[in-house]
């Protein structure tokens, strides 16, 4: 058997991410799903998520954990919360917005699509125009940080439009929650979805939904799915403190530790500041090497950055990827339909020194491949 590497390759990806050793070590236990100590941990995780989001049960908020990756949490919201005669307006400018449309098609839920180009944020004026004319719309859905490119959508302004028209507001904040402050009340959010393995820096295994309790309770009877029934899941927690079906025990143990480490770092503000420093070091270094950033800085998040392929036929992403992997760095392919790009994430347990090490490796790789960059 070959010897395992001294340390794992660093993940410059949109998740799962590089996690701390202590988060990984937290999983070196067996936990009984039925056992009171585990249930107490689940309750504590739910309480701390509400606190992290800056809301409380007293002010009408609730949080539900759901087995599976982030997509399962997003789909559960639509499966559970849209009435049979409901209609969802989806603002999309990337693959995750498009995935919401796919979910609605599968669930046979009526929807209207407001599309902007992949490098353009969602447009509140377009939403205003739609809601003024299409009175059938009951729900609005948008992705906060569209991880396809790294673009940020204006959830505060979109939330105002939703509130003005009295629509239920659903935000996929998968890749932003935990790093970019989100004022749930000010943004008029009813459902916010994120998952364990993004900016909280846990490991994959579950998603979580923060929501207004009254809005969720009003959805009784709508659920089109048994396992993705968010209200059913909440009732399960409230009945006996348990997940309805086998919980992701190790993932919860890791998440408990990840939440402690988020606190120790100084909370969302400090984590976001670290990611911003990572992002800035990355962009500065990549520009020096001659790479071009896809998005305009005014709409670019600090979560993940898309770079154009160099204008040199000697560049292939496969070669570039493999050579970086051999050096211990994992980057990410692009997902944009309108341009040839690759992506580099700045989230996870990564620091400026890691970004600089990556930049050195990219510089070497470019030389090895004999790629000309226009500096």
Ligand X SMILES: *Cc1c(COP(=O)(O)O)cnc(C)c1O
Contacts with ligand X, residue ranges (CB under 6 A): 14-15, 69-71, 96, 143, 147, 172, 174-175, 195
Nearer to ligand X, 138 or 147 (CB): 147
Q: How far is the CB of 68 from ligand X (least distance, A)?
A: 8
CA gap 124, 91 in Å, rounded: 9
Question: Cβ distance 111 to 99 under 8 Å?
Answer: no
d(CA 299, CA 51): 28
Mention every residue, 6+ apart, whose C-beta is less than 8 A from residue 187.
155, 156, 159, 169, 171
CB of 35 to ligand X, least distance (A): 28
Of the pair 38, 96, the CB lying nearest ligand X is at 96
Helix axes 352-369 and 317-326, enclosed angle (nearest 10): 130
Chain position whose Cβ is nearest to ligand X: 70
From the CB of 179, what's the least distance to ligand X, in Å?
12
Q: Could you give the 3-state DSSP secondary structure of residue 248?
A: coil
Q: Which is nearer to ligand X, 71 or 346 (CB)?
A: 71
Residue 53 beta carbon to ligand X: minimum distance, rounded to whole angstroms: 17
**CB-based contacts of 3-6 (< 8 A; 24+ apart in sequence):** 5/328
The DSSP 8-state label assigned to residue 316 in this structure reads -
Q: Cβ closer to ligand X: 69 or 138?
A: 69
* Residue number with CB closer to ligand X (81 or 143): 143
Nearest approach, Cβ of residue 108 and ligand X (Å): 21
Q: How far is the CB of 14 from ligand X (least distance, A)?
A: 5
Nearest residue (CB) to ligand X, 70 versus 124: 70
| Number of separate helices (H) and strands (E) present in the chain | 12, 14
Strands 191-195 and 206-212: antiparallel
Nearer to ligand X, 70 or 334 (CB): 70
When the beta carbons of 195 and 365 are compared against ligand X, the nearer one is 195
Helix (H) or strand (E) holding 36: helix 36-52
Distance of closest approach, residue 96 Cβ to ligand X, in angstroms:
4
| CA separation for the pair 178, 175 (Å, rounded) | 8
Q: What is the DSSP string of 3-32?
A: PPPSSPPEE-SSSS----HHHHHTTSS---
């Amino acid at each position: 058997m070959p010897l395992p590497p001294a340390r794992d390759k660093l993940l410059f990806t949109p998740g799962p991410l590089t996690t701390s050793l202590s988060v990984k070590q937290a999983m070196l236990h067996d936990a009984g799903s039925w056992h009171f100590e585990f249930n107490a941990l689940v309750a504590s995780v739910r309480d701390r998520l509400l606190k992290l989001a800056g809301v409380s049960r007293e002010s009408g908020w609730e949080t539900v954990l759901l087995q599976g990756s982030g997509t399962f949490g997003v789909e559960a919201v639509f499966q559970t919360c849209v009435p049979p005669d409901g209609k969802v307006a989806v603002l999309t400018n990337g693959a995750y917005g498009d995935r919401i449309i796919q979910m609605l098609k599968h669930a046979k839920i009526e929807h209207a699509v407001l599309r902007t180009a992949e490098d353009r944020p969602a447009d509140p004026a377009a939403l205003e125009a739609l809601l003024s004319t299409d009175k059938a719309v009951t729900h609005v859905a948008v992705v906060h940080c569209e991880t396809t490119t790294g673009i940020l959508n204006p959830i505060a302004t979109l939330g105002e439009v939703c509130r003005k028209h009295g629509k239920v507001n659903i935000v996929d904040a998968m890749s932003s929650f935990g790093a970019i402050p989100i004022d749930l009340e000010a943004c008029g959010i009813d459902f916010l979805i994120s998952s364990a393995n993004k900016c909280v820096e846990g490991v994959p295994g579950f998603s979580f939904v923060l929501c207004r309790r009254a809005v969720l309770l009003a959805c009784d009877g709508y659920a089109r799915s048994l396992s993705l029934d968010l209200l059913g899941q909440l009732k399960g927690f409230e009945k006996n403190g348990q997940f309805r079906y086998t919980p992701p025990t190790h993932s919860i143990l890791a998440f408990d530790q990840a939440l402690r480490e988020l606190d120790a770092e100084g909370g969302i503000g400090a984590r976001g500041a670290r990611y911003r420093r990572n992002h800035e070091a990355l962009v500065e270094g990549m520009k020096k090497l001659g790479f071009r950033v896809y998005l305009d800085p005014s709409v670019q998040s600090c979560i993940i950055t898309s770079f154009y392929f160099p204008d040199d036929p000697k560049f292939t992403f496969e070669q570039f990827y493999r050579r970086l992997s051999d050096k211990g760095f994992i980057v990410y392919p692009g997902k944009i339909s309108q341009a040839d790009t690759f992506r580099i994430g700045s989230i996870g347990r990564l620091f400026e020194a890691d970004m600089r090490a990556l930049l050195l490796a990219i510089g070497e790789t470019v030389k090895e491949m004999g790629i000309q960059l226009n500096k």
